[in-house]
Structure formats: structure tokens, C-alpha cells
Structure 1
């Protein structure tokens, strides 16, 4: 009897796991842009969450809470404008890698604007971010470096100088 209960429980866990992984990405609407690589998403079932796209680092801008001597990095404003144009008010699909959150409690995701168009790739293509690898989240490392290299060769965005 115990063996059958164990097998039944294992089958249930397997089915639940399959449902999560086969369409298990989260979906939400971008409600606020902080800068080129940080924004708030109203995630279905979770509410508003701050999201940090995995493996890209856009130039920094100055915020109201920054000290007066803060100087934005070159192309920080352009990266923020790009994120606003592409993401604000749009539905995004969120794919997790290994880590759930960063040290600032932001959720870490690969962010898709369409189901097959990743925001990180778009930023890199425009030269508005560079690859930033933090293990164990390295799923698209090779692809991202290839995109960055092409933007560098083409002198796009921050690679134009």
C-alpha cells in the first residue's frame, strides 16, 4: 500500500513539475521604467515586482535620491529611453535562470517583449548595454557575447566612441 501511495505521489509531483516547465514562464505588464536595465512589472499572481534583466548592464543614470554630484554615464539616458519605448505598458514574458533575486531584491529574468524577442538581445544590438556575467546565470552567455561583438564592430551606441 505504501509503495502505491509513494508512486502516486511521485506521479503527481512529476505532473506538476511538467506543467510548470512547459509554459511555466511568468507574464506581466511593465508599469515603470527605472533605467535601461531595471523596471517594474505587474506580474500575474504576484503584483508589482522590480525586475533586473539577467546578464546585461546598461550605463547608469542619476535618480532623485542620488547625491547632487552624480553624473550619468554616457548612453545611460539613451538606454533608459530605449527601455521606455520598448517596454512601458507592454506585456512581457519572464524566463528564470538559476537565481531568483539579486542583492537588491530585484527578480532576475530573461525578458521577452514578444515570445521570441528578448529585451537583453535588443539592448546589446543597439550598443546600449554590455554583457555582465554573474554565475550561475549563464544560459545565453555565448549568444550575448556574439551580439555584443557585432555591436562593437558596427560602432553602435556606447561602442561608437
Structure 2
């Protein structure tokens, strides 16, 4: 009799693990310092607009920097930094913007994870943006080669992951690095 009970324990444990796994799969991402928002539109490759508590907010994705998608002051700075002309930068910026837009749909739920500093000097929210499938948008963009790492302390939580993704994307010639 005791032997039969012992045989039952592994099956019971497997059943518990399987049923707990299924329970969490459809639940939204719940992390510390995270709020739910509704995606509205893409501004450029590293900036989106969300509806948060009934207000539209611009969100700058922490830890990444995409080329500018229009001619502006920052595009000329990137020209000096990269050695590419402004038109090339804007074309690459449009590719980055398209990639970001391909990951989002208007009305989609997103989850904003904040780091130490929550707003930049322009009043934009600073966040790591998580999707329902538990992927981080910031990381997807840089891992697919559409951004450079940009570390602005004190927001450094995923700095090493982003640098490694950037290195691999560049090595593989992904995104902006095709043909380099």
C-alpha cells in the first residue's frame, strides 16, 4: 500500500507543475515598477505614444538609440558620430521606425517597466516596453540590428544584455548592419 502511494507522488508533482504553467501563460506581465498602457502610435524607432490613465504620453525606450527618421538637429549629430550622411541616416531611421511599428498594433496592451529615472528632460516617460508575449520591445529592436546601445545613468538595468545583442546583430549583419 505504501509503495503505491510513493508511485503516486511523481505523477501528482507533474500534474501540479503542468497546471500552474498553463495558469500563468495568459496572464499579463507583472513586474515591479511596471504599469499597463495602450499603444497608440510610433514616433520613431525608439519613441512611441501610449495611452496611460486616459492621457497620451510619449515613451522613450531606455537603453537604445535608433537613427533619426527625419532631418533634424539630432540627425546632423548622428552624421558626425557615424560618418554617414544625413540622408543615409534618415533612410536607416525609417527602417528602424518600420521595424518598431511591425511589432505593435494600435490599441494593443503594452507594459512599461520603469528604471530609476522615469522622465527625461523633454518630459517623455523612460521605459522598457514589454509585450503580451513577454518579450521586451527595446531588446527586440537592438537584437535585430535596428538600434545602437545608449546608456544614460541611472537607467542601466539591462545595459549588458543590450550591448551583447548589439554585438551579435552587428556580427550577423542584421537590420541596419546589412552589407557592412
Calculate the TM-score normalised by the size of structure 1. Answer: 0.77
Out of 100-109 and 85-94, give the one that drifted further: 85-94
Alpha-carbon distance, 1:97 to partner: 0.2
Which structure has greater strand proportion? Answer: 1
Listed as ranges, the gaps of 5+ residues in structure 2 are 1-29, 77-85
Superimposed CA distance per residue, residues 84-125 of structure 1 (whole angstroms, 9 cap, x where no aligned partner): 121231211000001111111110000011262000111011
Give the root-mean-square deviation of aligned CA atoms. 2.2
> Which of 96, 99, 121 matches 1:79?
96
Partner of 1:91: 109
Alpha-carbon distance, 1:46 to partner: 4.9
Q: 1:115 to 1:27 in 2, by over 3 A?
A: farther
Calculate the TM-score normalised by the size of structure 2. Answer: 0.69
Listed as ranges, the gaps of 5+ residues in structure 1 are 1-20
Superimposed CA distance per residue, residues 47-84 of structure 1 (whole angstroms, 9 cap, x where no aligned partner): 11000010100110117xx59x9736142111111111
Alignment of 1:29 onto 2:38: yes
Structure exhibiting the larger radius of gyration computed from Cα positions: 2
| Residue pairs, 1:146-161, within 5 angstroms | 146-160=164-178, 161=180
> Which of 121, 139, 143 matches 2:139?
121
Q: 1:118 to 1:22 in 2, by over 3 A?
A: closer
Residues paired across the two proteins, number = 137
Alpha-carbon distance, 1:24 to partner: 4.6
Q: Which 4+ stretches in 1 moved above 6 angstroms? A: none
Q: Helix, strand or coil for the counterpart of 1:103?
A: coil
